[in-house]
């Protein structure tokens, strides 16, 4: 039927395809992009030399090569990569044989699939925008085939119009359509776990602190707590083997057995904070909450150490609600098992510390005083808070406490717990995040990986578990403000990430822009990426609480803009089209001067009468006739049409003068 102009189409298709190919290449393997580029070069060559389409043999050869590569990729990268790269290769091969109208639709189908594949893995707003551009370009290619004569600019306008017009309907469907549960299990891509890990070595948290990746966001319903109270608990480490800490309650054991539950005593009472957490995918099951949390909204369980676990690893952004009773004391009735766990130390090693602890134990009979003394030591002695402490060898705690005295939060927390346990006081290390950045635009906290932190909890018979943070004594800025202020001006903060905007937050403008973008991203992931059945009821609730006054203001502004546009367009339109108006004026002028016009007479047929009237009016009328001809019989651009109109009005003025003069004579 229609044979598309291939090179004209490729102008739009190639950028569209490059975008999706690039995404898959970065996500999976560069071979995808290389294959595409080779095919593109071949196609370009074919078009340049004006050869006919590739022979069947070559096409089959291409397919075979592609299949061999796919099989190889499947072996080494897994099933999903193989499927995606097969799709990408299909696109490349389809490009090679692009000839007919039908091919274009094949190409578009694959393109749509690849866009979807890109969206599956990249949920940030910026990626959505880039992939939308790819979609737009594909739409333009479709338009180009049908509307051959249109210029690129007009095509882009049509395509944008089409996409924008359909967007409201799309959003309506998005918010109103019920979500179906997954129909069948799909292969998951293998992603590296991010964030805190199940075990903790001395350097782990310092390493994590070099990343400016977002961990989660928290939105408080009411007044948000102070920075120093934001201890986001994630994991409890209570077993130390001399080099690393791990959890006795590993996930494999049933998190909260009836027995352990019976030994805990706490009540949901006292003051609380209500907030929502929007967790980024970490590919791990643990969740973020402040003490003592009750999570709702998703399937999750609490462990006996008050940490929370989701049923499945968090593979995509996840939103849940938490209520934290921050004043509730945590009492536990200790038993043998309890002491065994919380006083556990490796059988040997760190003898110096053990001696010190024994000495303290005899010195202080009250545990509170002992704790105070140890913390004061951290504050008074030359302990130094740094992201890159010197390497520790065999007796880590000994070396750190008495020799190097330089460490990050994990060093302080571990040493503190070690000393407590050695002195016979039950204690444990807690890993999590501390603080967060308040975004005043969106009114929420962003907690980044560099907010990762470790602190200690000590069991005091009267009070239960009590939190102590030795870091607060070494570097109070870390707790009261954030990591970058604690590290000072030594450029240590995000040292490998030169372009992290957060480093420049002292610059007002940069900071404003950064927070603005962060907020847009937050709204995007809150309303689009993580919109679900639960938030749907919230959506309607929010709608009732909505700031209608604000909406009214915006609406009136929008209406104003709309009407201004209408008026502007109307003016333009009347200027362009109504050449009839000045013509009618001219006719009435003539009628006043006694020129009779029979119905149906054209302008030119009036010329003899005007000749009789006066020479001047005759010449003016001739010009008017020419203008009318030009307007009628030539389809000019609206710009020229408007020019014609203005000329016309000018001529009508002259005609009026001429007729006046004529009468005077």
- Residue ranges in 1-40 that form contacts with other proteins under rule CB under 8 A: 1-2
Q: CA 597 to CA 593: how far, in whole Å?
A: 12
* 453 given a catalytic annotation: yes
Q: Which residue out of 409, 411, 451, 631 is catalytically annotated?
A: 409
Interface with other proteins (CB under 8 A), residue from 51, 55, 173, 554 = 173
Q: Does 397 bind other proteins (CB under 8 A)?
A: no
Q: Does 463 bind other proteins (CB under 8 A)?
A: no
Are residues 93 and 62 in contact, defined by beta-carbon separation less than 8 angstroms? yes
Interface with other proteins (CB under 8 A), residue from 45, 146, 267, 584 = 146
Token digits of residue 399: 């070396």
Q: CA 383 to CA 416: how far, in whole Å?
A: 13
CB of 620 to other proteins, least distance (A): 27
Q: Does 130 bind other proteins (CB under 8 A)?
A: no
Q: Which residue out of 453, 482, 631, 647 is catalytically annotated?
A: 453
What letter does residue 437 receive in the DSSP assignment?
E
* 409 given a catalytic annotation: yes
Smallest Cα–Cα separation from 298: which of 266, 320, 322, 276? 320
How many chain residues bind other proteins (CB under 8 A)?
54
- Written as one string, the DSSP assignment of 104-116 is HHHHHHHHHHHHH
Smallest Cα–Cα separation from 306: which of 280, 282, 332, 281? 332
Are residues 378 and 372 in contact, defined by beta-carbon separation less than 8 angstroms? no
The angle formed by the CA atoms of residues 407, 409 and 411, to the nearest 5 degrees, is 50
Residue with tokens 């051959």: 148
Q: Does 157 bind other proteins (CB under 8 A)?
A: no
Beta bridge partner(s), residue 308: 302
Q: CA 659 to CA 665: how far, in whole Å?
A: 10
Q: Does 83 bind other proteins (CB under 8 A)?
A: no
CB atoms within 10 A of CB 348: 9
Piece of 184-192, 200-208, 339-347, 622-630 that binds other proteins (CB under 8 A): 184-192
Q: Does 499 bind other proteins (CB under 8 A)?
A: no
Cβ proximity to other proteins, 105 vs 337, nearer residue:
105
CB of 632 to other proteins, least distance (A): 9
Residues 6+ apart with CB under 8 A from 249: 236, 255, 303, 304, 305
Q: CA 391 to CA 203: how far, in whole Å?
A: 9
Interface with other proteins (CB under 8 A), residue from 44, 58, 174, 565 = 174
Beta bridge partner(s), residue 273: 324
Interface with other proteins (CB under 8 A), residue from 47, 133, 157, 167 = 167
Interface with other proteins (CB under 8 A), residue from 26, 112, 460, 625 = 112
Q: Does 393 bind other proteins (CB under 8 A)?
A: no
Cβ proximity to other proteins, 115 vs 260, nearer residue:
115
Piece of 57-65, 251-259, 390-398, 523-531 that binds other proteins (CB under 8 A): 523-531
Q: CA 535 to CA 526: how far, in whole Å?
A: 9
- Residue ranges in 92-111 that form contacts with other proteins under rule CB under 8 A: 101-102, 104-106, 108-109
What binding mask, one character per residue, do residues 593-632 give for other proteins by CB under 8 A, x or -? ----------------------------------------
Residues 6+ apart with CB under 8 A from 110: 87, 90, 91, 94
Q: CA 165 to CA 124: how far, in whole Å?
A: 23
CB of 182 to other proteins, least distance (A): 5
Q: Which residues here bind other proteins, judged by CB under 8 A?
A: 1-2, 101-102, 104-106, 108-109, 112-113, 115-116, 119-120, 123, 128, 135, 139, 142-143, 145-149, 158, 162-163, 165-171, 173-174, 177, 179-186, 316, 528-532, 635
Kindly list the catalytic residues: 409, 453, 469
């Amino acid at each position: 039927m229609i044979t598309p102009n291939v090179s004209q189409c490729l102008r739009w298709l190639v950028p569209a395809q490059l975008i999706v190919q690039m995404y898959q290449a970065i996500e999976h393997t560069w071979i995808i992009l290389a294959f595409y580029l080779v095919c593109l070069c071949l196609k370009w060559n074919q078009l340049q030399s004006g050869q006919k389409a590739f022979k069947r043999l070559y096409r089959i050869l291409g397919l075979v090569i592609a299949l061999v590569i796919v099989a190889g990729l499947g072996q080494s990268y897994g099933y999903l990569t193989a499927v995606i790269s097969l799709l990408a290769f299909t696109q490349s091969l389809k490009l090679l044989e692009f000839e007919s109208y039908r091919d274009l639709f094949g190409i578009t189908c694959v393109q749509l699939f690849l866009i979807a594949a890109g969206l599956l893995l990249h949920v940030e707003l910026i990626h959505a925008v880039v992939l939308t551009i790819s979609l737009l370009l594909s739409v333009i290619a479709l338009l180009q085939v049908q509307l051959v004569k249109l210029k690129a600019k007009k095509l882009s306008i049509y395509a944008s119009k089409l996409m924008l017009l359909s967007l409201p309907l799309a959003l309506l469907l998005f918010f109103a359509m019920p979500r179906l549960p997954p129909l069948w299990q799909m292969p998951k891509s293998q992603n590296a776990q991010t964030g805190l890990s199940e075990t903790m070595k001395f350097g782990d948290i310092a390493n994590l602190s070099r990343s400016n990746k977002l961990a989660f966001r928290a939105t408080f319903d009411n007044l948000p707590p102070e920075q120093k109270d934001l201890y986001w608990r994630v994991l409890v480490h209570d077993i130390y083997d001399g080099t690393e800490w791990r959890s006795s309650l590993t996930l494999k054991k049933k998190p909260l057995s009836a027995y352990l539950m019976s030994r805990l005593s706490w009540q949901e009472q006292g003051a609380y904070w209500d907030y929502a957490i929007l967790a980024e995918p970490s590919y791990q099951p643990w969740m973020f909450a402040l003490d003592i949390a009750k999570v709702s909204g998703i399937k999750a369980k609490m462990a006996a150490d008050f940490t929370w676990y989701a049923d499945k690893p968090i593979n995509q952004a996840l939103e849940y609600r938490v209520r934290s009773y921050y004043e509730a004391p945590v009492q536990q009735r200790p038993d043998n098992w309890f002491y065994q766990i919380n006083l556990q130390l490796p059988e040997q090693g760190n003898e110096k510390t053990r001696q010190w602890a024994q000495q303290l134990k005899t010195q202080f009979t009250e545990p509170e005083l002992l704790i105070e003394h140890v913390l004061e030591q951290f504050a008074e002695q030359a302990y130094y808070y740094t992201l890159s402490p010197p390497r520790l060898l065999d007796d880590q705690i000994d070396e750190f406490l008495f020799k190097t005295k330089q460490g990050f939060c994990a060093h302080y927390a571990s040493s503190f717990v070690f000393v407590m346990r050695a002195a016979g006081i039950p204690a444990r290390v807690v890993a999590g995040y501390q603080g967060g950045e308040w975004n005043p635009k969106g009114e929420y906290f962003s907690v980044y990986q560099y907010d990762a932190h470790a602190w200690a909890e000590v069991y005091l018979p009267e009070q239960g578990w009590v939190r102590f943070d030795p870091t607060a004594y070494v570097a109070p800025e870390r707790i009261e403000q954030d990591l970058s202020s604690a590290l000072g001006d030594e450029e240590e903060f995000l040292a490998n990430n030169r372009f992290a905007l957060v480093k420049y937050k002292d610059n007002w403008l940069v900071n404003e822009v950064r927070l603005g973008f962060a907020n847009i991203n937050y709204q995007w992931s809150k309303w689009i990426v993580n919109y679900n059945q639960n938030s749907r009821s919230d959506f309607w609730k929010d709608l009732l609480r909505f700031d209608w006054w604000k909406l009214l203001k915006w609406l009136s502004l929008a209406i104003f803009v709309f009407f201004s546009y209408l008026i502007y367009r109307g003016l333009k339109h009347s200027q362009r089209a109504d050449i009839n108006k000045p013509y009618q004026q001219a006719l009435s002028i003539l009628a006043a001067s006694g020129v009779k016009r029979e119905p149906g007479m054209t302008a030119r047929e009036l010329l003899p009468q005007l000749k009789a009237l006066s020479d001047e009016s005759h010449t003016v009328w001739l010009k008017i006739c020419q203008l009318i001809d030009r307007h009628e019989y030539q389809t000019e651009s609206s710009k020229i049409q408007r020019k014609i109109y203005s000329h016309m009005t000018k001529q009508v003025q002259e005609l009026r003068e001429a007729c006046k003069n004529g009468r005077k004579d």
